[in-house]
Amino acid sequence: MALQLKDLPFRRDDDQTLHSDVPTVVTDEHPQLYNSTSAAAHQVNLEDDQPQPIRKGTTFWMILSALIISFFMVVLEGASVGNASPTIAGDLSITQFAWIGTAYGLSSTALLPLSGGLAQIFGRRPVMLVSLTIFAVGGALSGASRGTATLFAGRTIQGLGGGGVLTLSSIILSDLVALHERGLYNGLFSLAWTAASGVGPVIGGSFAQSGHWRWLFYMNVPFAGCAAAFVFFFVRLPTPPGSLRSKLKQIDWIGNALVMGSTVALVIGLTWGGVEYPWLSAQVLVPLIVGGIGMAIFMLYETLLATHPLVPVRLIYNRTSISGLVQTGLLSVPLTGLMYYLPVYYQACTLASPIRAGTLVFGVAFTVAPTTLVAGALITATKRYRPPIWFGWVLLLIGQGLLTTLKATSAKATSIGFQILIGVGIGAVYSSTYFPVLAPLPVEQNAPALALYVFLRSFAQIWGVAIGATVLQNQLSSRLPQAFLETLPSGASVAYSAIPAIPALASPLREEVQVAFAESLDVLWRVLCALSAVGAFASLWMKGLSLHTDTDRRWDVNKAEGEGEK
């Protein structure tokens, strides 16, 4: 039955804004039927005409610059530290150097949902400034560390700030740009991500080899200061009214405690599983079970009991948003796995140095951003997000399938060609899944939806590292010559402890070890390809919905500037 304008109980207020008295229900069929102060531009898409994009002023571009600088800084830090971790661990006598990265990822992921809620309650600018400050303090503490405790404390503090920066960058962009024209701007963020991910390993390797790894952390302080200055002077979005007590009451304390505790437990289990302890050991099973039960309790609490839910149930009421969230998580696993373990292939099988291995993965890194820009421009022009996503998944599956043919003796040009296919596929999907997540939801739900979106992406990246470590540990333990295994430190990650020893091995043992690495990585590529296939299947669930043509008026930058002038 066709829906007619006269059938809806709309009313006009004195400000000529069109409102509706229909219940607040979000579905795939009529995603924009909701009670909203911005409902005028969402009248169930009864008209085909789309408004022309508004010309962006100087303030907009300064805000965008602040967001991109902040985003680039956080991604660069994460990309560079991994390559320098063995050197840092050696200087500080740290036996578990994997925790240099894990401490950061754990804290940033656990606090991501909270950062979205704080942005709704206290405003965008204060939360962004606090996040940048925390990130800088953590960097300074990490750079000045003289032992394990200080370094891990600094990395944990950095993670708290970094998670907030990533979430607030996406939320503020959604405040400034309507969904129907956001594709191109998402592409700019992907360009920053690609640049940081590409140069990060090289920078990290350079600092590590020169013995100046502390500057990997110190350099974040001026970066954060520059970004904070831009945010302070230009991100003048409205601040929600209310006393501190009333705002504190709006925080979902129980929900936050549940999701933080569950995330920490799951990350610990994933980090230890198959590397530090066997998967069936109590040290691994207990945190995984506790974390899984905690997540289930969290979802039940959010659905049934929470007064101000951290994750509003409407975010997962429709299949299109669910499809977008599932794709986001499943894409992040192979993306992270490839970026972490392709350098292992080059170091072990081609005997490349850490810096050289970092440059050899540019095939993935520097094809993602251009493709994301093109995909975003296409979505902006056509208002359709499904074709780029489907194209990307197909290309990603083809590239990953070809990657499984790599041998220890394969030419570098061949592997780089496969990387380009994979990079184009990832680029087409990476930011495009953003649209099915948000299209079915009212613009007022941007902040919690984006917080959940970034949370799943970050959490899945931890899975990508954990799955790769587990597969490699198990495969190498069974494939490497026993005489070579006996020379490695007990309890250490086989892959990372074996790589430095390979160039010094005599033939034919060296070739046997290289073949063992190539065959073990082949198993990992197949696992990642299978996960990508599940993501491609999940993309079939989403519907092709129209994109919002307005932003949430509560966070209108022009309104904030007007209030400031008064």
Distance CA 78, CA 491 (A): 25
- In the chain the first and final C-alpha atoms are separated, in Å, by 50
CA 301 → CA 126, 322, 416, 441, distances in Å? 29, 19, 47, 21
Domain residue extents for the chain: 58-251+308-480+517-553, 252-307
Report the CATH architecture of 58-251+308-480+517-553. Up-down Bundle (1.20)
Q: Which residues pair with 20 in a beta bridge?
A: 10
pLDDT of 493: 66
Spatial CA neighbour of 263 closest among 528, 465, 463, 493? 463
> Which two three-digit tokens encode residue 558?
């022009």
Q: Provide the residue type at 421 as one letter.
A: L
pLDDT in tens, 441-454: 888 777 788 888 88
Q: How many residues does the chain have?
A: 566
pLDDT of 310: 75
CA 188 → CA 90, 416, 425, 433, distances in Å? 37, 24, 17, 16
Confidence of residue 98 (pLDDT cuts 50, 70, 90): low
Distance CA 77, CA 138 (A): 12
As a dihedral over the C-alpha atoms of residue 482, residue 485, residue 491, residue 494, rounded to 10 degrees, the angle is: -120
Distance CA 256, CA 114 (A): 6
Complete DSSP assignment for 456-515: HHHHHHHHHHHHHHHHHHHHHHHHS-HHHHTTSPTTS-HHHHHGGGGGGPPTTHHHHHHH
As a dihedral over the C-alpha atoms of residue 91, residue 94, residue 100, residue 102, rounded to 10 degrees, the angle is: 170
> Which two three-digit tokens encode residue 212?
């100046």
Q: Provide the residue type at 64 as one letter.
A: L
Residue 11 has pLDDT above 50, yes or no: no
The secondary structure element, H or E, covering residue 10 is strand 10-12
Confidence of residue 354 (pLDDT cuts 50, 70, 90): confident
Spatial CA neighbour of 1 closest among 26, 29, 25, 22? 29
Complete DSSP assignment for 39-82: GGGGSTT-----PPPPPP-HHHHHHHHHHHHHHHHHHHHHHHHH
pLDDT in tens, 68-77: 989 998 888 8
Check: CB of residue 551 under 8 Å from CB of residue 40: no
pLDDT of 534: 95
Summarize the confidence of residues 188-217 as an average pLDDT.
81
Confidence of residue 179 (pLDDT cuts 50, 70, 90): confident
Distance CA 404, CA 414 (A): 12
**Who wins on pLDDT, 559 or 154?**
154
**Who wins on pLDDT, 141 or 207?**
141
Residue 21 has pLDDT above 60, yes or no: no
> Which two three-digit tokens encode residue 514?
């290289």
Query: Is this prediction's pTM over 0.95?
Result: no
Q: Which residues pair with 10 in a beta bridge?
A: 20
Summarize the confidence of residues 242-263 as an average pLDDT.
83
Spatial CA neighbour of 174 closest among 434, 452, 561, 375? 434
Distance CA 5, CA 22 (A): 13
Residue 104 has pLDDT above 70, yes or no: yes
Average pLDDT along the chain: 80
